[in-house]
Structure 1
Amino acid sequence: MSEHITSGMVLAAGLGTRMRPLTLHTPKPLIKVAGRTMADRALDRLKEAGVTHAVLNISYLGEQIAAHFKNRTDMNIQLSNEDEPLETGGGVQKALSLLKGTAFFVLNGDAVLLNGPTPTLRRMKDFWNAADMDVLLLLLPSAKAIGYSGPGDFTLDNRSIPAFREECKTAPYVFSGVQILAHNTFDNRPRGKWSLREIYQDAITKGRARALVHDGDWLHVGTPEGLEVAEDYFAKLA
C-alpha cells in the first residue's frame, strides 16, 4: 500500500572516528565518493522518491554541513543542531517536529545506496502499509554488501519479518541504514542519547516490523579503506 511520504532525514551528526584522518577537518557526510558527497547522494535518493522536505542532524563540524547545503536549492532542507551527537534515536527524536506526515524515511549518512531495477525508496513506499507496520528496514545479503566485512545484523523469514542476530555468530542480512519509521513510534520516547535499535526491537516484539531485501548495490563507506573500495567501484563503472 503506497503512502505519500514526503519527509526524510539523513543522519549526519557523527564524529566520523573510524574515518580519521579524513574527518579531522571534514565531517564524514561531506566526504566525496566519485565526486559527490555522501550526504548529497542520500538526498538524491530521497528526492527521486518524492521527498520534498529533508532534515539533516548536525553536530561535529556542523557549520561546514550548514554552509554546504545553503547552496542546494532543489529541495527544502532543514538542519537539526545537536550540542553533542545524540546517537540515532536521540537525533531523530530531537528533529521530530521537522518531520511531517505519519511516516518518514531515515538514511545513514555514511553509505551509498544505488538503485536496482526500481528506485529503491519508491519500492519501499509501495511496500509500506501503516496498518501493519511501524518499521520497514532495507536489508541486503551480507555477501553483497560492498565495503562491509561484519557478521551481519538480521535474519528474515518468508513473511518479510526481521529478527536480530542476537547470540548467533553470523546473520545472512546486513542493515543498510535505510528505513521508514512511523511517526508515532517516537511517542513518549526520552530526550537525550539513545539508539534506534530500541524502536526496531519494540516493533519486532509487537509484530509490526518488516524488511525488504535490496535489489541493487550498497557501499559501506565508514573507513578510509571503505572509501577506497567505493572509489574503485565507481571507477569500474566509468
Structure 2
Amino acid sequence: MHPVLKPAQAMVLAAGLGKRMRPITDKMPKPLVPVAGKPMLDHVLDRLGDAGFDRVVVNNHYLGEMISDHVANRDFPVVVNSPEVELLETGGGVQNALPLLDDSAILVANADMYWTEGKDPLFERMIEAFDAEHMDALLAIAPVDGAFGYDGAGDFFWQVDGRLKRRGSAVAAPYFFTGVQILNPRLFEGLLPGNFSLNVVYDRALENGRCYGLVHDGRWFHIGTPEALQDAENALAE
C-alpha cells in the first residue's frame, strides 16, 4: 500500500461552508479561523497528535485548496487529504474517506471548535472509554449549562448506564453533542454513497442500544458567528 494511503484512525471534518461566520469566511474556510492564537483546525490536529495519532484524514470542500496547502507541511500528525467535489455533509464525508481509515474504530472530530481540557485530555478520555464489545458509537457531550456561546435546547439525555437518549419531543435536554466521537465503521454498511448526516449512523447505534456518551469536563466554546468568536477571545483572555 502506498504510504500516503496508509489507514488512519482519526478524521477531522473540515468541509463545511461556514456561512454563519461570514464575512470572515468569505475568503477563509472556517477551520482556518484563528482562536487563541492559531487556527481551530490546528488546535484539533495538535491534540490528536498529543493523543498518539500519527496520521489523520482531513476532508475539504469549500476553499479546500487553502486547507490542503495549510496542512501540507505538518510533520506530526501527517495529514491525508480527502477532497470532496460536492459537499457530502458529515456522514457522507466520513463514508467517502473510509478507504483511507482504519476498519475497526475511528475518532472523528469537527475542525471548527475550541475547548479547554478538564482533568485529562478529551481525546485520551474517549480512547480509554471506548469499549468495542458494547459500543458502536461513543459521543462526547457537554452540559448545556455553562457552555460558552451555545443557545440550543440540548441534544441528549445521558442515562445511568452511559447510553444516550435523544431529546425527542422534550422541551430541552441537559447535554449537547460536541462534534467529537468514536465510531465503528460497520455503522456505514449498506448506506448508499452521497450526501447525508452522521445522525443516520447515530440512529443505527441508538436503535441497537450501542450509542454511549462521555461528558466533557472542561470548558466548551461554541463559535458559530463573528460575534461569538470575539466573545470567546475576550473570555479566553480573561
Structures share fold, TM-score greater than 0.5: yes
| Residue identity opposite 1:59 in structure 2 | H
* Equivalence for 2:44: 42
Of 103, 106, 126, the match for 1:104:
106
Contact 1:145–1:174 (8 Å) recurs in 2: no
Distance 1:104 1:144 in 2: 29
Unaligned residue ranges in structure 1 (runs of 5+): none
3-state secondary structure, aligned to 2:150: coil
Distance 2:162 2:171 in 1: 22
3-state secondary structure, aligned to 2:139: strand
* Equivalence for 1:73: 75
- Please identify runs of 4+ aligned residues in structure 1 that moved more than 3 A: none
Shift of 1:28: 0.3
Q: Root-mean-square deviation (CA), in Å? A: 1.3
* Equivalence for 2:216: 214
- Give the length in aligned residue pairs: 232
* Equivalence for 1:116: 118
* Equivalence for 1:138: 140
Shift of 1:206: 0.2
Contact 1:38–1:109 (8 Å) recurs in 2: yes
Of 6, 13, 24, the match for 1:11:
13
| Residue identity opposite 1:111 in structure 2 | M
Shift of 1:50: 1.2
Unaligned residue ranges in structure 2 (runs of 5+): 1-6
Of 187, 190, 199, the match for 1:188:
190
3-state secondary structure, aligned to 1:57: strand
Shift of 1:144: 2.2
Q: Report sequence identity in percent.
A: 46
1:1-43 Cα deviation digits (max 9, x unpaired): xxxx962111100111111010000000000002110111111
Q: TM-score, normalised by structure 2?
A: 0.94
Distance 1:6 1:212 in 2: 23
Shift of 1:113: 2.6
3-state secondary structure, aligned to 2:68: helix
Contact 1:6–1:50 (8 Å) recurs in 2: no
| Residue identity opposite 1:41 in structure 2 | H
Of 157, 160, 181, the match for 1:158:
160
Distance 1:189 1:43 in 2: 28
Distance 1:45 1:169 in 2: 35
Contact 2:31–2:111 (8 Å) recurs in 1: yes
* Equivalence for 2:235: 233
3-state secondary structure, aligned to 1:203: helix
1:202-235 Cα deviation digits (max 9, x unpaired): 1011011110111111111121122112211221
